[in-house]
A and B are shown apart, each in its own frame.
Chain A
């Protein structure tokens, strides 16, 4: 058994890359295109971790995290933020919004996987 991950990003390229990296690591990715879509996909889903972009149409990453944290079922679901800036205030803002951690874009697949294990554990059989 592997980790199931919900990845939300409005860029098709980044979604493709996330999907590839996650699949190659043996994870099960679910993808969404923006915050609103992310919440729809999340409905009824219990992912082991969520990865989200910040700059997105309709509902941005901060709004998405807030909405996810507002649901009892996802109060403690680990959420990693994808960001192109590694500035400390951005991290602080991500954390203030309820994010668990962050990944700097462009991400290194190995580091992404390590970060996911760090927040979501090794999966059931590991």
Chain B
């Protein structure tokens, strides 16, 4: 390989392929476990591991090769029907698949894999077959990267030329295998000077000539400085298909001969000699060549056919390219595209949407009637733009399957470490969601799954007592619902112990004793920062990451999480997410003459401030009474530093904002313009962090508007309203 670049590219693509293969392996093992497997399922598993090994070998990833090889060996036993798998064995295979996944990751990131962590599982796996360790190691040694073989040849010490006499007599099977003496002789010629002699003695009269017999033999004198095993390598493929003698000649050196051209002429020479000897019968021989194209089984030297073949092959290769592209049974064609290019396309389409909105506005302003051709064409243009936008968004969409498979592993690992038996049921794996959303869902989902296994499901004893099956069940599902994707994590455990939740919340001062709370309010306490129901912190869920963090990460994705629970029946978390992060449903508002966008997801309702609902609190602040509670009143224009507080807010428009911890704030704006989808344009790269601002967008009139980050805005609220909403709620 001369250029490092293509190899780096293939390496990167290898790891992508590994992910696909691991997914196939996981699928196969799941099918086997569910009893839905056929012979092909095991083959698919075997091939997946085999292909990983093959690719790993090419990149010298020894850790991966070793593990994959031993894994594959055991799988081969299953494939050969010599090993039947029960549930425990499948679990072991899955665990090994998890390790394989880790090793692939390590190799990708150039991290060394700790062999001691891997070995026990491998040994357990091998104990299924009773395979002995020594045997395995030996086979591994047999499978060695070949990258050095060429160097060995070149590095051979030049000890001066040695002369060999080689006698080579092909048998008819040699031709049947597709080998060709001419090419072998030519390859021999590349090792040094050769002098080749063809023996024609065995050729009978033409009438008795057997078309596919092997009648020629050669004697070659080879003068070379190469090692003997290189000569033998030339005959590697024909070993056993010919009589071969290689004898080292001692003594003098031949004068140098023009080797290559002469070699290529050798068969030709013999052809001439045949023709001159049997001049009358020459035409039938050449006709024989024509009628049997590509069949070089005759003793007739085939110099001419060889030189002819490449030309038509080349032409047909071209036409084949077109044919194969339309081939019906080939798998669906895919193209791998750099994510950056897609981002760029998404951005450009965003610009197009904005530009199109501006155009509509200009057309309207120019007073062109709605039934004019211009307006009608523009209508079609808008439709097309929307279709393009949808299609572009779809490019970034990915099925949630890979995410669900990772969760399957979390279930396996956490249930094993807690000694619980847990089954994971997944549904809607093919549901497609924006790639970034999938990536950023992994952490919160992992935590929720761990929670479900640890806290959601009861111990085996309690389950049996409650008349349930000992094996707990966690369901993970995904579905599209009204323009959003909904992911649900449910368990069939004991449900939320609301008494306990309440007691803990009171103990931690999160709610006041005696405060009335609905069931869903109580359940929502789980999302408060610092809340943890685990009496003893197990090393599994007690990682300092509470449900508040889960909720925050989901809200960062523009999503919401809800909890429902039935005592004795189980708990269900439902995450609702936008399909993409590139557009946002927002409310366009005005504050101090500036146009701003407030994410719709954070707005609970809009109201009007009235004197009778406002109360002064301290020197600078006011609260707004919304039904039964008081909510701190913030002026958006003041918070962003656009103006000083006004003396009177009577009649102002108020947006009621909910924070992730469930507390609320009332945000005063001057005007609400409209509710619409906006294309998000990041500010972080060009401006860095701006307090209270998440991003920017461009509106239909070409004006740039900032998109608020309500969480950040309220947490960094200025002196006029410095009371934290949590404090206020307790006060209220």
Of B150, B234, B311, which one neighbours A124 at CB under 8 angstroms?
B311
Question: Which B residues are CB-close (under 8 A) to A105?
Answer: 54, 57-58
Main secondary structure of the interface of B (DSSP, over half): helix
Is there an interface contact between B330 and A20, defined as CB atoms closer than 8 Å? no
Asked if B288 is an interface residue, CB under 8 A from chain A, the answer is no
Question: Which A residues are CB-close (under 8 A) to B149?
Answer: 108, 111
Is there an interface contact between A119 and B1, defined as CB atoms closer than 8 Å? no
Q: A14-B58, A107-B146, A118-B234 are in contact. Are A84 and B6 (CB under 8 A)?
A: no
Q: A4-B314, A4-B317, A46-B313 are in contact. Are A37 and B55 (CB under 8 A)?
A: no
Is there an interface contact between B180 and A106, defined as CB atoms closer than 8 Å? no
Is there an interface contact between A24 and B183, defined as CB atoms closer than 8 Å? no
Is there an interface contact between B10 and A110, defined as CB atoms closer than 8 Å? no
Q: A85-B143, A119-B180 are in contact. Are A11 and B55 (CB under 8 A)?
A: yes
Is there an interface contact between B146 and A48, defined as CB atoms closer than 8 Å? no
Asked if A93 is an interface residue, CB under 8 A from chain B, the answer is no
Is there an interface contact between A84 and B50, defined as CB atoms closer than 8 Å? yes
Is there an interface contact between B13 and A48, defined as CB atoms closer than 8 Å? no
Is there an interface contact between B330 and A40, defined as CB atoms closer than 8 Å? yes
**A24 to B7, alpha carbons, bound, how many Å?**
12
Is there an interface contact between A101 and B10, defined as CB atoms closer than 8 Å? no
Q: A30-B317, A48-B313, A118-B234 are in contact. Are A100 and B47 (CB under 8 A)?
A: no
Question: Which A residues are CB-close (under 8 A) to B323?
Answer: 43-44
From B112-120, B290-298, B375-383, B395-403, the one touching the partner chain is B290-298
Asked if B306 is an interface residue, CB under 8 A from chain A, the answer is yes
Question: Which B residues are CB-close (under 8 A) to A47?
Answer: 313, 317
- 1/0 contact trace for A75-117 toward B, CB 8 Å? 1111100001111000000010011111011111111001101
Instruction: Give residues of chain B (160-217) contacting chain A, Cβ–Cβ below 8 Å.
Output: 175-180, 182-184, 186-187
Cβ of A16 to closest chain B Cβ, rounded Å: 4
Question: Which A residues are CB-close (under 8 A) to B236?
Answer: 101
Instruction: Report the interface size class on chain B.
Output: 35 or more
**A36 to B323, alpha carbons, bound, how many Å?**
15
**A111 to B1, alpha carbons, bound, how many Å?**
12
Interface centre among B44, B234, B317, B321 (most CB of A within 10 A): B317
Of B143, B240, B330, which one neighbours A84 at CB under 8 angstroms?
B143
Instruction: Give residues of chain B (252-300) contacting chain A, Cβ–Cβ below 8 Å.
Output: 293-297
**A102 to B233, alpha carbons, bound, how many Å?**
12
Question: Which A residues are CB-close (under 8 A) to B145?
Answer: 106
Cβ of B77 to closest chain A Cβ, rounded Å: 15
Of A40, A43, A100, A123, which one neighbours B179 at CB under 8 angstroms?
A100
Of A10, A46, A104, A117, which one neighbours B51 at CB under 8 angstroms?
A10
Of B59, B297, B329, which one neighbours A36 at CB under 8 angstroms?
B329
Closest to A21 in B: B1
Is there an interface contact between B142 and A85, defined as CB atoms closer than 8 Å? yes
**A116 to B234, alpha carbons, bound, how many Å?**
11
**A41 to B40, alpha carbons, bound, how many Å?**
24
Is there an interface contact between A117 and B146, defined as CB atoms closer than 8 Å? no
Q: A120-B183, A121-B182 are in contact. Are A12 and B17 (CB under 8 A)?
A: yes
Interface centre among A14, A37, A46 (most CB of B within 10 A): A46
**A33 to B686, alpha carbons, bound, how many Å?**
45
> Can you list 28 residue pairs at the A/B interface with Cβ under 8 Å?
A4-B310, A13-B17, A14-B51, A14-B54, A14-B55, A33-B330, A37-B324, A41-B327, A44-B316, A55-B46, A55-B47, A55-B50, A76-B176, A76-B297, A78-B178, A84-B50, A99-B177, A105-B57, A106-B146, A108-B149, A114-B187, A115-B237, A118-B237, A119-B237, A121-B180, A121-B306, A122-B183, A124-B311
The 8 closest A-B pairs by CB, nearest first: A101-B237, A100-B178, A106-B57, A13-B55, A106-B58, A13-B14, A11-B51, A46-B313
Contacts A48-B309, A106-B54, A108-B149 known; 12 new A-B pairs at CB < 8 A = A12-B13, A40-B324, A40-B330, A48-B313, A55-B51, A73-B294, A107-B58, A119-B183, A119-B237, A120-B183, A124-B310, A124-B311
